[in-house]
Amino acid sequence: MSRAICVAAILASFGCAGGVIRAEPNPADYLTMASEALARHQPAAALRHLRILVDAAPGGDLERRARLLGAAVALDPRNPDRDPDLAASLAAGYRPTGDDDWGAGIARTLFVLALDYGANPGPELLDDAPLAPLPALTTSAMALRLRALEQELERIRRTLEPD
């Protein structure tokens, strides 16, 4: 009887009540989990895994992949929680590996798309970004143009309403 109690105590102390020890995911696992979440159309879960990966693998290839994919998911129109500010931050934090880094071009494009969708990055992001110099929009942001059109449409509706 005392042997069974000792075994149970040992198993409980290792956190394996069912007898199975679960290892902490390694950084590559988070990329896999994010891809699987995207395949299930769960962008919030994918972004959660990608943000963990960005923090878990700084400066490496996995971080660069997580930043590109995360920025794309944050801008995806199918994502109900689309977040241009998050996309801009992820893209701006991309650390190029050299002059021939194709990912840097994608990160810069994702950054400009985030600006077009209404991202408003603060000066600290713009000044400290590994991807600096960051590109700027050459036209007014689509988000601003849509807001102006909505206001104009509302003005026209009010004008056409019968008295």
pLDDT tens for 67-118 read 999 999 999 999 999 999 999 999 999 999 887 789 999 999 999 999 999 9
DSSP codes joined into one string, 25-92: PPHHHHHHHHHHHHHTT-HHHHHHHHHHHHHHSTTSHHHHHHHHHHHHHHH-TT-TT--HHHHHHHHH
- Please give the DSSP secondary-structure letter assigned to residue 3: H
Q: Note the pLDDT tens digit of each residue in 127-160.
A: 889 888 888 888 888 888 888 889 999 999 999 8
Q: Can you give the pLDDT at residue 8?
A: 45
Q: Can you give the pLDDT at residue 7?
A: 42
d(CA 68, CA 34): 12
Contact criterion met (CB below 8 Å) for 78 and 43: yes
**Six-digit token pair at 148?**
């102006």
- pTM reported for the whole predicted model: 0.77
Q: Note the pLDDT tens digit of each residue in 119-128.
A: 999 888 888 8
Domain boundaries in the chain? 25-137
